[in-house]
Structure 1
């Protein structure tokens, strides 16, 4: 059964560790990643930094990178194309040996946080064993089985998934709204408060599992 895992890799054991160590405010987010062979990993990465020129200089000096090029600068972020050549053993194993897919990845000074789709639970177990055998640190934070379809992938309960889908169909998210919260609650035959809490919890879960990677959501 296909499995999604959220993992953390220490920054010091992964690509771009020198850049993350040099610049305190830099943040990386992988847009897309290609693994041509075990020696070359080519990611497209969004980067934010207080000083883009300092970031360029740090990337040029980073020993884990063979090539780096700016692709776009639409705003405060910069999109880079890179070629990683060092500290990528765990990633190579996931992408090439286990046919894993990186769904989301964010790199900060406190580590790289990734959401990865594995073809089955055994592939995740083998990845953990590989890291242990090669003295690599891997912290598996959450595991999802996607036998329940998209709601399993996004961590939603059945009620949350059905309510959010119904809200979309009824025009609740339109501007202006086609239905009020009270009328929508009457339609579902639940209380106004119960509907509000279900939507809020569902939205929080969606944000945590699609936008936010490796951050605690906090308490409701």
Structure 2
């Protein structure tokens, strides 16, 4: 039975986090991971205002061999990163345990991962890999799909996403015209405007996925 692991890891604990951390502040999501021989190649959706600075920073990293912009949709760009040499880090651990990245994104100096493994043995393999490589991860929760009934009722939101959506709703952020700015909401929670935007956007996506897609599946 497949099992889902949700965890956070600090940027300095893995190579991708190290390379992508720091200015310019960009909204980054891991799209997928593709094994290529002895290496792994991450694909990233990046949103922000300073793409040229972002590209220069990434290409300047000693561990990066190439960065290619593959596609642009609205304000986001899909990038492919090619590493220089072989490295043992959390991304390799995921691929070796045959994990599937359901969601992975940067947030305030760390990354949050939602990974599906084929069974508990594969999850244990990944956890042991992290332990062997001295990679420190903070496990938020693990669950099987059959155990997800209660979390679906809560739309699978993180505490931060739920807090942000409730505040935005109460303050009239979704009204037309909006009664409060994103910056004002961020100040209420003592976080950056970008972090607030991330929580609202991902929270909305999670709610819509759980309600619309689940309903569509049931109809079928």
SS at structure 2 position matched to 1:66? strand
Distance 1:49 1:105 in 2: 17
* Alignment CA distance shift 1:40-1:102 (3 Å): same
Aligned position for 1:66: 65
- Aligned 1:175-194 pairs, distance under 5 A: none
CA RMSD of aligned residues (A): 3.0
Aligned position for 1:34: 34
* Alignment CA distance shift 1:93-1:136 (3 Å): same
How far residue 24 of structure 1 moved from its aligned partner, in angstroms, is: 4.8
Distance 1:153 1:56 in 2: 42
* Alignment CA distance shift 1:21-1:29 (3 Å): closer
* TM-score of the aligned structures, taking structure 1 as reference length: 0.63
1:134 matched to 2:133? The reply is yes
Distance 1:3 1:51 in 2: 38
**Superposed structure 1 runs of 4+ greater than 4 Å apart:** 85-88, 208-211
How far residue 106 of structure 1 moved from its aligned partner, in angstroms, is: 0.8
Please say which structure displays the higher CA radius of gyration: 1
- Aligned 1:146-161 pairs, distance under 5 A: 146-147=145-146, 152=148, 155-157=151-153
Any stretches of 5+ residues in structure 1 without a counterpart?
Answer: 161-203, 212-220
Distance 2:106 2:88 in 1: 14
Asked whether the 8 Å contact 2:24–2:54 carries over to 1, the reply is no
Asked whether the 8 Å contact 2:70–2:80 carries over to 1, the reply is yes
Asked whether the 8 Å contact 1:154–1:206 carries over to 2, the reply is no
1:56 matched to 2:52? The reply is no
Distance 2:33 2:137 in 1: 20
Q: Deviations over 1:127-178 (max 9, x none)?
A: 2222122211111111121136xxx389314x98xxxxxxxxxxxxxxxxxx
Any stretches of 5+ residues in structure 2 without a counterpart?
Answer: 156-202, 211-220
SS at structure 1 position matched to 2:21? helix
